[in-house]
Structures are given as C-alpha cells and as structure tokens.
A and B are shown apart, each in its own frame.
Chain A
Amino acid sequence: MLELALQSILNGVLLGGIYALMAVGLSLCFGVMRVANSAQAAMAVLSAYISYWLFVLYGLDPFFSIGISMGILFTLGLGIYRSLVTRIINTPSPTLLSFLLLSAVAIVMENSMVMAGGNIYRAIYTSYTATSVEIAGIVFPIVRVAGFVISMSVILVLSLVLKFTYVGKAMRAITQDREAATLMGVNATRIGSITFGIGAALSGIAGVFLALIYAFYPAVQGLWIAKLYAIVIFGGMGSVPGAMLASMVLGMVEAVIGVYIPTMWAYVVAYIILLLTLFIRPTGLLGK
C-alpha cells in the first residue's frame, strides 16, 4: 500500500514538472505584462508537432529538437506579441482583452494544425520509450524523469536570469510598477516581447516532452489551457515560484486521488481545487 502511494506521488511530481514549465510561462506573462496567454497550451502542442515531424521525417531524436522548438516558439512569441498584443496592451483592460485575443489565436493555431495534419492522436515512440528504472520497488520512467530534470533546470536558469541579468531585473521592475520602470528607462515593449517570447519558448520545451510522454492532438490544447489556468490561479497569478509549487501540488493531488477514486473523478480534482482557492484565498498560494 505504501509502495502504491509513493508511486503515485512520484507520478504526480513528474507530471507536475512538465506542467510547471507552461504554468511558469503563463504566470510570468501575467506578472510582467498583465497578459493572460491563452495560447500557452496551443504553443506547446505546436512544439509537440514540430518535434514529432522532425523525428518521423528526419529521424531527429526529440531531445535534440528541444533547441529547435525553443527557437521557433521564441520567435513566434515575439512575432505574436509585437503584431497582436501590443495593440491591446495600452488599453484600460489589457488582461481581459489579451485573454480573448490569445484564445482566438489558440483556436486558429489548433484548427491550422487540424487542417495541416488531421485531428489524429500522435505520440513519439523511440527506442527508449517506456523504459524505466526500478529503485526500492518504485518505478522511475526514464523519459519522465528526464523531462522533470530538464524542466527544473530550465526554471532554475530562468530564476537566475530574473535575478541577475538586466532583462530579468527589468522584468521584475515592470512587475512591481510599470510606469516607474518606464520612467527609469526600461523599454516596456521590448521587455514585454522578450517575456512573451520566453513564455512561448518554455511551452516549446514542454511540448517536446508532451510528445514523448503523452499522446497529443490539436484539440488537447483546450483541455490543457484550462488546467494551466487552474494551476496558475491556485499558485497566484504572476508568481513564478507559486506556479511551480502549484504544479507540483496539483500534479500530486491528482495522481494520488486518482488511485483511490474512479479515474473519471480524478480529472475534476484540479477544478475543485481552483474553486476552493477562489473561495478561500483568491490571490492563490503565493500571489500578492
């Protein structure tokens, strides 16, 4: 029984690690620019497709396509920000408008992918798919562990960037007080587009693992973005550590509960937690 519980906690933590990448991106965009990036999951699915096709057509191992996906998504993020988001960023309600705008972008992306390749489930099967290591009776699936380690490293690098680089400090400055930061010489548009690009790149990394670990199809972005919002609100919109913590917690709760109650109910857990959060502490775990 203990083994079962430990295994499910591990499953949850590993699951949370992948979600954390996208949740951090989402929270960051909101914190810095008050932009709700509803296309976060769609970007991850796009990245999943990119790695999938690189693997199927050219035999490129998905781990090597992480860099390529990141690059493509970063550029796409910059492009979307500069062409679309800048138009609504200076309106009185940028958050609501960005939510709607990017939801539309997500739908366009999803349907473009359907038209390009069909709404077929795809997954990447390599020679190392489904391999695992067993330690003390607990099974560690290798690809999931690799995904977790890479996610945590990336988030660590991101926090170092936030703390020590000019861009990072500028981002934190804008989060604290946009006007004051601009007065101090921070180019809000440039920093905003870089932040958005970073959020997209994070989805880019997550997407590769989604292709390796799960099955994906364009419509799944709708399911994931809903869960991402639940995670981010639970952790506190705008807080990077909050997003990470919330991903782990929700991942664990979902996995553990799924062992004791019917699977169909386990999916609802994330949303029940969201509701409770909004009732009890609307700013979330670590939000302000």
Chain B
Amino acid sequence: MRRWNIKGIARTTAIAIIIVVIIIAGAGTYFAMQMLAPPAPPKKEIVIGVTIPYTGAYSAYAPWYERAYRLWEKQVNDRGGLLGLSVRFIMYDDKSDPTTAKTIYERLITVDKVDFILGPFASACVFAVAPVAEAHKMLFIEAGGNAKMLFEQGWKYIFMTWPSFAEDLFRGLAEVIKKMPTDKRPKTAAIINADDVFPRGIANGTSGHLEKAGVTIALKEEYPKGITDISGLITKIKGLNPDILFGGTYLPDALLIVRTCKELGYNPKILALSTAPALYEFYKTLGKDANHVVGEMQWSIEAPYPGVRELVEAYKAVYGIEPDYRVGIAYTACELLENAIKGVGSTNQDALRDYIRTHVINTVVGPMKYDEKGVPEGRAMNFQWQNGKMVIIWPFDIAKGELIYPKPEWS
C-alpha cells in the first residue's frame, strides 16, 4: 500500500536538513578559524627523548646515564643551547623491557614530538627500538648496545658510541694469553652468560677469541636473566675445574658469580666478567674479593682524549664521585649530537646523519670515525683489578701492567 505519511516525510526531511546545516556550519567555522588562527609560535627549545631503565634488570645503570645526560644538558644550555634554542631532555622508564622501550619511543616521536632521540640502554632494547627510528627516519645515536647483530640489520640511522662490539670486548685477553709461553697458558674455559642479547653476544665472541688462543671450551651455558642463586651452576663448573671462568654478565649476576665462587671455594686461574668489573659498584661491594678479576672497559677517566679531564672535573663537582665508563659513553652520544647540529646548522635528521658519517668528530671516547653501518673505529681495553686499582693489561701500547696469573686464592 503506497500511503506516505505527509507529516512523517516532512519531519524526516526537516531533521535531515538540520543535520546537513550543522555539518556545513561546523566545517565552515573550522576552516575559517584555521585561516584566521595565529601562526604557530616559533620553537623555543630542542627536546631530546630517551628512555632510562629506572626499574628492572638494568636499573643499576640508570642513575649513571641520567647523570651524564643531565650534566651535558646543563653544560650545553650554559653555552647558549643549540641553534640558539635551549635543550631539554625527556626521560621515561622503560623498565629494562624491550617492548616497553619500543612503545615509549613511538610515543616520544609521535605524541611528544621530540626533535631528537638517543638510544636506550642494553642491546636488547636497542634492537627493539632501532626499527622505530628507521621507520620515522630519525637519527639514532645510541649509547646502550654494542652487540654485533645490531649492525647487521641494514639500518641506516643507527650510530653506536661504544668503540667496540660486545663480541670483541675480550679480544685483549686472548692476545695476552697468546703472549704467554705455551706451556704456561690456560687450557680450558667455562663460559656462562645470562639469556640476553648483549651477554650472549659477548659470550659467543669471547668464546671464539679464546679458542683462537688455543683454549678448549669445557662448558658453555646460559642462565636465566633474573637469577638469584647460581650455586648449582658454579658447583658444576667447579667439578670440571677449568682454568678460566668467563661470565657474560651485567652487574647483579657478576656480583653473584664472584660471591658464589668464593663461597664454594672455586678459584679459577682467570676470572673474567663483562661490564661489571669496571663499574663503581663492583669494588665498592666486593672489596678485596674484586681483586684479580679481569674486566673490560671502553673508556676510563685516564683516557688521553680532549675533554676527558673537563668531564671528570665537572662530574665530580656536580655529583661528588668520579665517573666510570658509562658516563663517558653516554656523554659521547650528546657530544656527537651537538657537534653534528653545529656542523650542519639545522635539525634535519638526514643531514645530521650524513654529517656524522663523513666527519671525524672528537669526543671523550676518542675521535669517532664511522662506517656506513654506524660502527666507529675503536677498541676496548682489558684490565685486571690489582690491589684495589684497575690496571690496564691490553692494548699493549697503553698497558700499565701485566696480568697476574694464576689468580691467587680467595682471602
């Protein structure tokens, strides 16, 4: 039955017309306001976004990175800022978790709209965040990760401020061993590492270097990252009694390994650990038990480069303690950024990237000459704690002492 309700049609039409009018009015107002709106205010500052592992497995490293960044922030603003603008850091907690770090960097770039980002700490987090930097074509100077695989992904914006890959951090130890008379050299090694990107990288790399020095790997095992009791593994190793114990560690597990070895009466001829022995907390916590441990560092306060003295003095003046290598590496990232911005005269990410690739920039870590993968020319140092001092044993041209071998008994 075709019976249209005249009143109904009229009402429907009226409603439709009202809706259309509202939409047109709204759209019109919006565009009018856009045309009449004042121009965006000129940029007042340069914002740099970064995550720091305030909580989680890497949290021992957090205050050192934060302090280094804040020190540079203050210094650069005292110098007049960059491009006439003041510089400000935004720092978020990535909980030492790669997924969290990745989400936060997305937010920093798209929501906070930072001008620059610096990398997070630890190879695992750098690995998660680098694709974000690549996707947004943002310069990605990172002071956090040096596992070789980070530079085999074909990324174009990444630059690391570590002079050496994780894998090569203990090349020096192998060189020292090669120099020993053949009959006195250590013959066997146990390699253990946390199940994380950097420890795995350094364990694999060191394993290779030691094998080239004629050492047989008696055991190679991973342990869970958050481990609180390593006595089972150390007991197993004690049973095998290798000459060398190498740990691919961060700080907490390194302390645990030293303490457990002493507790169980296992005294390897060489005890070598990654990162931890060079850190301020290591000797402070272990005292004389730290002696004769072999470690690696990529910067020391005695490094013979311009700016090192000033950095050490400034750091001591503000924070009351001496910096360790974490500060040097973090500060270098800031120096690279500052140098590139001054050299290019703008904040264009691509131009800055090309500048860093084509210029040798002087930093506290040394003259940084990068290849197209973002890897600088450089090498790490190996040292041994002797009588409460870190004595560099390699490279030979800057060595201050010799490896004390074998390690004396625990006292």
Do A264 and B223 touch (CB < 8 A)?
yes
A1-26 contact mask (Cβ, 8 Å, vs B): 1 or 0? 10110011001000100000000000
Do A259 and B221 touch (CB < 8 A)?
no
Do A130 and B221 touch (CB < 8 A)?
no
Tell me, yes or no, whether B187 is within 8 Å of chain A by CB. no
Of the listed residues B95, B238, B259, B260, the one surrounded by the most CB atoms of chain A closer than 10 A to its CB is: B259
Of the listed residues A114, A119, A143, A217, the one surrounded by the most CB atoms of chain B closer than 10 A to its CB is: A119
Give the residues in chain A near B59, CB-CB below 8 Å: 118-121
Give the residues in chain A near B54, CB-CB below 8 Å: 118
Tell me, yes or no, whether B339 is within 8 Å of chain A by CB. no
Smallest CB-CB separation from A14: which chain B residue? B231
Tell me, yes or no, whether A53 is within 8 Å of chain B by CB. no
- Residue among A119, A139, A263 making CB contact with B233, cutoff 8 Å: A263
Tell me, yes or no, whether A141 is within 8 Å of chain B by CB. yes
Tell me, yes or no, whether A187 is within 8 Å of chain B by CB. no
B121-165 contact mask (Cβ, 8 Å, vs A): 1 or 0? 000000000000000000000000000000000000000000000
Given contacts A119-B59, A121-B60, A215-B252, whether A130 and B232 have CB atoms under 8 Å apart is: no
Tell me, yes or no, whether A214 is within 8 Å of chain B by CB. yes
Given contacts A119-B59, A262-B221, A264-B224, whether A15 and B229 have CB atoms under 8 Å apart is: yes
A62 → B minimal CB distance (Å) = 15
Give the residues in chain A near B39, CB-CB below 8 Å: none
Distance in angstroms between the alpha carbons of A274 and B96 in the assembled complex: 31
Distance in angstroms between the alpha carbons of A144 and B252 in the assembled complex: 20
- Residue among B95, B224, B260, B286 making CB contact with A125, cutoff 8 Å: B286
Tell me, yes or no, whether A168 is within 8 Å of chain B by CB. no
Give the residues in chain B near A214, CB-CB below 8 Å: 228-229, 256
Distance in angstroms between the alpha carbons of A195 and B291 in the assembled complex: 48
B281 → A minimal CB distance (Å) = 10
Do A259 and B236 touch (CB < 8 A)?
yes
Given contacts A123-B255, A125-B286, A264-B224, whether A130 and B262 have CB atoms under 8 Å apart is: yes
- Residue among A118, A121, A219, A266 making CB contact with B232, cutoff 8 Å: A266
Do B264 and A254 touch (CB < 8 A)?
no
Give the residues in chain A near B100, CB-CB below 8 Å: none
Do B226 and A219 touch (CB < 8 A)?
yes
Distance in angstroms between the alpha carbons of A213 and B260 in the assembled complex: 9
Give the residues in chain A near B57, CB-CB below 8 Å: 121
B277 → A minimal CB distance (Å) = 16
Do A129 and B221 touch (CB < 8 A)?
no
Chain A, 254-282, CB within 8 A of any chain B CB = 254-255, 258-259, 262-264, 266-267
Distance in angstroms between the alpha carbons of A192 and B195 in the assembled complex: 44
A214-226 contact mask (Cβ, 8 Å, vs B): 1 or 0? 1111011001000
Given contacts A8-B232, A259-B235, A259-B236, whether A264 and B259 have CB atoms under 8 Å apart is: no
Do A4 and B262 touch (CB < 8 A)?
no
Tell me, yes or no, whether B211 is within 8 Å of chain A by CB. no
Give the residues in chain A near B289, CB-CB below 8 Å: 130
- Number of chain A residues whose Cβ lies closer than 8 Å to a Cβ of chain B: 40
Given contacts A119-B59, A141-B263, whether A216 and B228 have CB atoms under 8 Å apart is: yes
Give the residues in chain A near B66, CB-CB below 8 Å: none
Do B239 and A259 touch (CB < 8 A)?
yes
Give the residues in chain B near A259, CB-CB below 8 Å: 232, 235-236, 239
Do A120 and B233 touch (CB < 8 A)?
no
Give the residues in chain A near B263, CB-CB below 8 Å: 129-132, 139, 141, 143-144
Distance in angstroms between the alpha carbons of A214 and B262 in the assembled complex: 14
- Residue among B195, B252, B410 making CB contact with A121, cutoff 8 Å: B252
- Residue among A118, A125, A139, A258 making CB contact with B55, cutoff 8 Å: A118
Tell me, yes or no, whether B56 is within 8 Å of chain A by CB. yes
Distance in angstroms between the alpha carbons of A1 and B286 in the assembled complex: 31
Do A258 and B232 touch (CB < 8 A)?
yes
Give the residues in chain A near B239, CB-CB below 8 Å: 1, 3-4, 7, 259
- Residue among B56, B222, B228, B232 making CB contact with A215, cutoff 8 Å: B228
Give the residues in chain B near A131, CB-CB below 8 Å: 263
Given contacts A4-B239, A8-B232, A215-B255, whether A263 and B222 have CB atoms under 8 Å apart is: yes
B317-339 contact mask (Cβ, 8 Å, vs A): 1 or 0? 00000000000000000000000
Of the listed residues A118, A130, A139, the one surrounded by the most CB atoms of chain B closer than 10 A to its CB is: A130
Tell me, yes or no, whether A177 is within 8 Å of chain B by CB. no
A126 → B minimal CB distance (Å) = 11
Distance in angstroms between the alpha carbons of A119 and B263 in the assembled complex: 26
Tell me, yes or no, whether B408 is within 8 Å of chain A by CB. no
Distance in angstroms between the alpha carbons of A213 and B231 in the assembled complex: 10
Given contacts A118-B54, A120-B60, A121-B252, whether A263 and B223 have CB atoms under 8 Å apart is: yes
A135-149 contact mask (Cβ, 8 Å, vs B): 1 or 0? 000010101100000
Q: Which 5 A-B pairs have the closest CB atoms?
A: A258-B232, A121-B252, A119-B55, A4-B239, A130-B262
20 pairs of residues in contact across A and B, judged by CB atoms under 8 Å: A4-B236, A8-B235, A114-B55, A118-B59, A119-B59, A121-B59, A123-B256, A125-B259, A130-B259, A130-B260, A130-B262, A130-B410, A132-B263, A134-B265, A214-B228, A214-B229, A216-B228, A255-B231, A264-B222, A266-B232
B residues near A, CB below 8 A?
A: 54-57, 59-60, 95, 195, 221-224, 226, 228-229, 231-233, 235-236, 238-239, 251-252, 255-256, 259-260, 262-265, 285-287, 289, 410
